[in-house]
A and B are shown apart, each in its own frame.
Chain A
Amino acid sequence: MPQVFSRRSALVVKLVLVGIGAAFVAVVVAGGVWREHWVQALGQPVEQPIPFSHKHHVGDDGIDCRYCHTTVETSRHAGLPSTHICLTCHSQLYRDAAMLRPLHESERTGTPIAWRRVHDLPDFVFFDHSVHVAKGVGCVECHGRVDQMALTWRAQPLQMQWCLACHRDPAPRLRPPSQVFDMASVAPGGDEGRRLAATLHIESTRRLTDCSTCHR
């Protein structure tokens, strides 16, 4: 019985099959990349109604995080500054700058400034800033070098596996409470990290990885 496919056409079929496999792998990889970069927008500056620069305020002027994010030590939410907090300086400084027009508009009309959210957790995650800050997790761990961002972007993926990486082994990412708000500080890690975990009474890994720790 003669062969149905010639040698040549058999090669074509093989190549097509390999091509389909390769295309599948490529789609999966591309999907992952797309997810990282496009959906999460890691490292992509987010346009804001006022082009607020953390680089200027934190890096150049050295304003403490807590001056604007007032509830970060006491509440779940770090808190965005009210218009009046901005105006503590900007009622005097750069009053006529065009880019600050929305700020003065907000003051005049009593309507809030509609900032775009950069770090968005799903609604079923109950993250608490105050506990993390109290337990020696520095701002920079999750938010990156905000003091170097002209427009703020997301520095970390904020996915569950990323959260769990720290919850499973917090010691390397802890720093002394005095350095929590210090953008340039580096977590000591090693024995020092383990010592910090003990003095800060970090809960057991079992407790930290319970579903009920973050989800209710």
Chain B
Amino acid sequence: MHADDEPLHFHPREATALTRRSALGVMAAALALASGACSRPPRERIYPAVGMPEDAPGERPLYYASASVRDGHALGVRIGTQQGRPIKIEGNPLHPSSLGATDVFAQASVLELWDPDRSSAVLQRLGTPRERDARPPAATSSWEAFETMWRGRAARLRAEGGAGLRILTGPVSSPTMRAQLAGLLERLPRARWHQHWPLRDVAADAGARAAFGQPVQTVLHLERARCIVALAADPFSDGPGAVRNALDWSTGRDADRNGGGELARLFAAEVGPGLFGARADVRVALPPARIDALVRRLAARIVDGSRRDGNLVAAPAELAFETALVAALASAGSDAVIVPGAALAAESHAAIHAIHQRIGASGRTIDLVAPLAMASEAGSLAELVEAIADGAVDTLLVVDANPLYDAPAALDIAGAFAKVRTTIHAGLYRDETAHASTWHLPLSHDCERWGDALAHDGSATLVQPAIAPLYATRSATELLALVGGDEERDGHRLVQRQWRAHAGGGDFDAWWQESLRRGVVAGGAAAPLALTPRTPSVGRPADDAPTPRDDLVAVFAADPSAHDGRFANNAWLQELPRPHTKLTWDNALLLGPATATMQQLQTGDVVRATIDGRALEAPVWVSAMHAEGVLTLPLGYGRRDAGRVGNGVGFDAYRVRPTDAATAHARIERLHRRHDFAVTQHTISQSGRDLARTVAPGERIADPGLDHASLYPRSTSPEHAWAMAIDLDACIGCNACTIACQAENNIPTVGKDEVIKGREMHWIRVDRYETPDVAGSIFQPVPCMHCERAPCELVCPVGATVHDAEGLNVQVYNRCVGTRFCSNNCPYKVRRFNFLQWVDRETESLKGQRNPNVTVRQRGVMEKCSYCLQRIARARQHAQTTGEPIADGDVVTACQAVCPTRAIRFGDLHDTQSDVVRARTSPRHYALLGELNTRPRTTYLARIAAKTEPKS
């Protein structure tokens, strides 16, 4: 050790007195020692179970019906376990929010379970922080220590009727937790419950209050809708019903396509590009105020029967949109639905309720239910901060919420926290709030706990654990039992106790087992409310909201990958290209092209955005599909205490968010600095090639490009011939397939720098193209094509990529020497090379997530989509042992299983009744780059272009 003041010398001669002779000597000694230590590798150990588990763990996955709870709502899932380890999450076909499909968040939550940064122990703060921002020292404590502390506190609270106790949660729909909270508040009447949800649509709540006198939640039935209108909204990605919405729309469209009927019309007026807007027949990008004005005119026309357009200042595109929309709404009658988004004004939400009532859509394409996760009796975060300022709060319990990160900046929540004597935070991570609290309690993951929650339509869903808690964690239900002084502390029995009353007599155990097996409680959907909206005051067309000339409108929106910030530490989601920008490991301030030109900005320029006196530095992304005069600020980044993956990624838009509202006025200023983005797709043009094709309704693709003459021998597949068909007319670009593949096939993440070098590892990527044929974008998932005449195979010098008897182009990792010739010769660029040792072989907990049926690749080998060879092998082994032949549907690839729109079909070409053969007879069927005559086994069905509007 050097003393601090002693200078350090780094002189090569002095530092290493190594001569040529001694170097040779050391080498010889090392060689001698190494050869002396030669032995066979140590024998592995086998640890059989002490008692045989209930279902003997083989290599077959066991699935548990459970739920992934996000924003208080349950998405029914099946947790796939291998040898007792949850490794894969897929949709629950019996659950109304899922019907077998999932979204990226539910699937990626399995990585959260094994995340080494997850909180594993109780923490107690030692001493008080000197300054507000200094992190106070904390020590590992135990649940017993917390209970001891709480017993003393509880006695005093009971004596005082709960005065000084506040409980802050996120959205909660769990019947068990709601009952626990109600019981607690009944016993301690002076205590209060607050709810905080950064993505709460306050405008929708205010709009519903104006229309009905009470807040409501909407449930869409898009399969019945002939005309779907999204106004600053994205029903395919926002809200708890997003997966079901996409599925319903896709089911309806499929029926229309097959029935030869008219396809349902989709209209989108949006601020930033969303998944729904990408699919819309008619799309226009408008700032929120212009969409509000559009709603007013619509309401005036439909509700009041007025034909006056007011002092309309609208661009031609806007007018054309409105004309087409009015015509489509008129022809759809009651089979229309309008979905408003959070950026709209409360009056617009109220007006849309009135429109639904007038056209008869209520009860047909849309149902209203009472809010499922936000309780009317719970106070808001602002009220909590006010109470703290008044000195009324002594003990604050924060359960599964992170207000220190995601509260609006104007509330000064950090200052408020410092004023509370005892703050207790319970969460999955040691996040920002944990570090500011006196106690931090680790919560169990959804895969480790018993619980319940409501689906998007109110169906009660049971959360079933697939593994015992990995660490000393408890569920929120168990924590509330502790806090409420409940005799019963076991999560399983607490949930059972709640449902015993609802089982309706009979045999509870049988009812419980059946409900667990299904994952959803029978007959549990919420009853729709029969409400009549008050006549809104929409008759007078108001001027467009006055906006100061150089002010922009900032729209705060959930990020497609980080959501509200809770998924910031999930490397799969961070590296998942955002649907439109194809951006990874970052968020960006989104701008329209004209606004960017006016401010002299280009993609990658850093700006300072000022909102209400608070400034934020953020890199700009100019999107051609973004509205002008608006900037979108994606939330969920710039985390300070997310974990090793999420810390410091992107900018934190909460820091400039004035209130819970989704919009605010902003100014931006160029900073003459650049920012490097890591993007996976650098051009959205097809460069004249027909990659993602469109056809007019009823049209046939003339040359599907499947069979040209060739000198090469044809490969034969005598037994099975696996093939995949991807329907571009169904794909909404949600990325669920990419994450499914990542979880199934042990695909590593590489980090931002490596993505910039183009080294991302996804086996199935989703390309996006803009063409004049569609109003939005075309998404094209691209896995390996499994070409029958595969260009990659011809150039491999070691035969590491070869065809098997079933037509799969297989990659043999052990033969691969890493020449990368195959990738160079692949016209589809679907091969991925392990330039470095991406897979973390050190971290113990991450090993738990890996699929034991897929090789974990190491540095220096090529890899690519295998058509989920392990799933084919499982089906074959079952067929071989039982003698039953493989039927259509026995092999379901990971990407196919989770697709919310059923865009991916997989099967055997020799089975003439199979789904994939039927898809290949479609007039929309074509091969990607078919002119190369690679005869790909993965083929596409073209997207049906929107009917062109007659010019009016």
Would you call A2 an interface residue if the criterion is a C-beta within 8 Å of the partner chain's C-beta atoms?
no
Closest Cβ–Cβ distance, residue A213 to chain B (whole Å): 8
- List chain A residues, Cβ under 8 A from B813: 124, 215
A sample of 12 cross-chain residue pairs with beta-carbon separation below 8 angstroms, ordered by A number, consists of: A38-B40, A74-B58, A84-B50, A85-B52, A123-B855, A124-B813, A124-B855, A131-B881, A201-B883, A204-B719, A212-B810, A215-B813
Residue of B nearest to A81 (CB): B48
Chain B residue contacts of A215, Cβ below 8 A:
810, 812-814, 855
Contacts of B856 in A (CB 8 A): 123
Instruction: Mark each residue of chain B from 522 to 560: 1 if its CB lies under 8 Å from any CB of chain A, else 0.
Output: 000000000000000000000000000000000000000
Verify if B802 is at the interface (C-beta below 8 Å from A).
yes
- The yes or no answer to B148 lying at the interface (CB within 8 A) is no
Taken together as a complex, chains A and B put the C-alpha atoms of A215 and B802 apart, in Å, by 12
Could you tell me the distance in whole angstroms from the C-beta of A51 to the nearest C-beta in chain B? 16
Task: Determine the residue in chain A with the shortest Cβ distance to B868.
Answer: A216
- A141 part of interface (Cβ distance < 8 Å): no
Question: Is B873 in the interface zone, CB < 8 Å from A?
Answer: yes
Bound complex: CA of A35 vs CA of B810, how far in Å? Answer: 30
B51 interface residue per 8 A CB criterion: yes
Closest chain B residue to A76, Cβ basis: B59
B331 within 8 A of A: no
Given known A-B contacts A80-B46, A204-B718, A211-B810, A216 and B804 have beta carbons under 8 A apart:
no
Where chain A touches its partner, the secondary structure class is loop
A70 within 8 A of B: yes
Could you say which residues of chain A place their CB within 8 Å of the CB of B808? Answer: 212
Contact: A46 with B719, CB < 8 Å? no
Contacts of A106 in B (CB 8 A): 50
A71 within 8 A of B: yes
B877 at the A interface (CB under 8 A):
yes
Q: In the assembly, what is the distance between CA of A129 and CA of B805, in Å? A: 22
**Does A73 have its Cβ within 8 Å of any Cβ on chain B?**
yes
Given A38-B40, A84-B52, A215-B814; 15 other pairs, CB 8 A cutoff: A41-B40, A74-B56, A76-B877, A79-B56, A79-B58, A82-B51, A82-B52, A114-B45, A116-B45, A124-B814, A128-B877, A207-B719, A207-B804, A211-B810, A211-B812
| Contact of A39 with B805 in the complex, beta carbons under 8 Å | no
A119 to B43, CA, bound (A): 10
Categorize the interface residue count of chain B. 35 or more
Which of B44, B50, B718 touches A117 (beta carbons < 8 Å)?
B44
With the chains together, A110 CA to B51 CA distance in Å?
8
Q: Does B237 contact A (CB under 8 A)?
A: no
* Shortest Cβ gap from A38 to chain B (Å): 6
Minimal Cβ-Cβ distance residue in A for B856 = A123
Given the known interface contacts A124-B814, A211-B804, A216-B869, the answer about A111 and B43 at a Cβ–Cβ threshold of 8 Å is no
How far does the alpha carbon of A120 sit from the alpha carbon of B359 in the complex, in Å? 70
* Chain B contacts for A85, CB-based, 8 A: 52
Cβ-based interface call for B599 (8 A): no
A108: nearest chain-B partner, CB-CB: B50
- Name the CB-closest residue of B to A131: B880
Q: Does B853 sit within 8 A of A, measured CB to CB?
A: yes
Q: What's the least CB distance linking B3 to chain A, in Å?
A: 49
State the 5 A-B residue pairs at the shortest beta-carbon distance, nearest first: A75-B58, A80-B48, A76-B59, A210-B804, A112-B47
Say if the beta carbon of A148 comes within 8 Å of chain B. no
Q: Does A135 contact B (CB under 8 A)?
A: yes
Residue of B nearest to A210 (CB): B804
A113 within 8 A of B: yes
A212 to B814, CA, bound (A): 12
- Residues A128-152 near B (CB distance < 8 A): 128, 130-131, 134-135
Q: How far is the CA of A123 from the CA of B47 in the complex (A)?
A: 17
Q: Does the CB pair A130–B877 fall under 8 Å?
A: yes
A112-B48, A211-B812 as given contacts; A117 in contact with B881, CB under 8 Å:
no
Residue among B40, B51, B880 making CB contact with A39, cutoff 8 Å:
B40
Query: How far apart are the CA atoms of A80 and B47 in the complex, in Å?
Result: 8
Residues of A within 8 A of B873 (CB): 126, 212, 216
Which of A111, A130, A206, A213 contacts B50 (CB under 8 A)?
A111
A216 closest partner in B (C-beta): B869
**Nearest chain A residue, comparing its CB with the CB of B50:** A83
Within 8 A of B (CB), among A75-123: 75-77, 79-85, 106-107, 110-117, 120, 123
Interface centre among A79, A111, A126, A211 (most CB of B within 10 A): A211
Q: Identify B802's interface contact among A107, A123, A211, CB under 8 A.
A: A211
B464 within 8 A of A: no
Q: How far is the CB of B877 from chain A (nearest CB, A)?
A: 5
Q: Given that A212-B869, A215-B813 are contacting pairs, would A115 and B48 also be in contact in the complex, using a CB cutoff of 8 Å?
A: yes
Contact with A along B852-872 (1 / 0, CB 8 A): 011110000000001001100
> Chain A residues with Cβ under 8 A from B43's Cβ?
46, 116-117, 120
Per the bound structure, the CA–CA distance linking A41 and B877 in Å amounts to 31
B residues 865-912 with Cβ under 8 Å of A? 866, 869-870, 873, 877, 880-881, 883
- What residue of chain B has the Cβ atom nearest to residue A201's Cβ? B883
CA distance in complex: A215, B799 (Å): 14
B497 at interface, CB cutoff 8 A = no
Q: Which residue in chain B gives the minimum CB-CB distance to A75?
A: B58
Tell me if A76 and B58 are in contact (CB < 8 A).
Answer: yes
Contact, CB under 8 Å: A115 / B58: no
B743 to chain A, nearest CB (A): 16
Q: Does B49 contact A (CB under 8 A)?
A: yes
* Shortest beta-carbon distance from B888 to chain A in Å: 20
